[in-house]
Amino acid sequence: MNQVKENNTVKVHYTGKLSDGKVFDSSEGKEPLEFTLGKGQLIPGFENGLIDMKLNEKKTITIAKEEAYGAINEDLKQEVKRTELPEDIKPEVGMGLISKSSDGQEMNLLVVEVKDESIVIDGNHPLAGEDLTFDLEVVAIFDTAEIIN
């Protein structure tokens, strides 16, 4: 197995950067990221960028926000009265919160503004609205049949 194809399991070293060059995530000094293509485990642009790469090949890809975490959805920003928060929470800008829906689904939220009587929370992914650049290196390629056997 020397070239990445759909449904392969791969191990990849990566460094993710924003358009200004700031690194937001990296596998440097850690184990490589291992996943199976086509399972929706990662953003589409990341998986698509790996297709046809060869073992030990290095490449830099740029992923448009539409193939990453999408555009910022203003509907995911809302104002919440402080009285609706648990009493032990002292909200600060940048603080992460978790909200549970009635069906038990969790949503990560970020406090983006603190007012006297309320806070503004944002449910967008922190990288929404961003084009992303990844330096990639394929360090292992497995055919799904190899893993099963």
DSSP one-letter string for the chain: --B--TT-EEEEEEEEEETTS-EEEE-TTSPPEEEETTSS-S-HHHHHHHTTPBTT-EEEEEE-GGGTT-S--GGGEEEEEGGGS-TT----TT-EEEEE-TTS-EEEEEEEEE-SSEEEEE-S-TTTT--EEEEEEEEEEE-HHHHH-
Q: How far apart are CA 138 and CA 14, in angstroms?
A: 9
Is 1 within a domain? Answer: no
Cβ-contact 55, 140 below 8 angstroms: yes
Q: What is the CATH classification number for the domain harbouring 32?
A: 3.10.50.40
Q: How far apart are CA 134 and CA 49, in angstroms?
A: 9
Do 78 and 66 lie in one domain? The reply is no
Do 79 and 110 lie in one domain? The reply is yes
Question: What pLDDT, on the 0 to 100 scale, is given for residue 144?
Answer: 63
Q: What is the CATH classification number for the domain harbouring 91?
A: 2.40.10.330
Do 66 and 135 lie in one domain? The reply is yes
Question: Domain containing 50: what range?
Answer: 9-70+127-148
Do 13 and 55 lie in one domain? The reply is yes
Is 102 within a domain? Answer: yes
Do 133 and 103 lie in one domain? The reply is no
Is 144 within a domain? Answer: yes
Question: What pLDDT, on the 0 to 100 scale, is given for residue 125?
Answer: 92
Is 108 within a domain? Answer: yes
Give mean pLDDT in consecutive 10-residue pieces for the chain, a chain of 149 residues. 88 96 96 94 94 96 95 94 90 91 88 95 94 97 61
pTM of the model: 0.81
Is 4 within a domain? Answer: no
Is 117 within a domain? Answer: yes
Q: How many structural domains comprise the chain?
A: 2
Question: What pLDDT, on the 0 to 100 scale, is given for residue 149?
Answer: 33
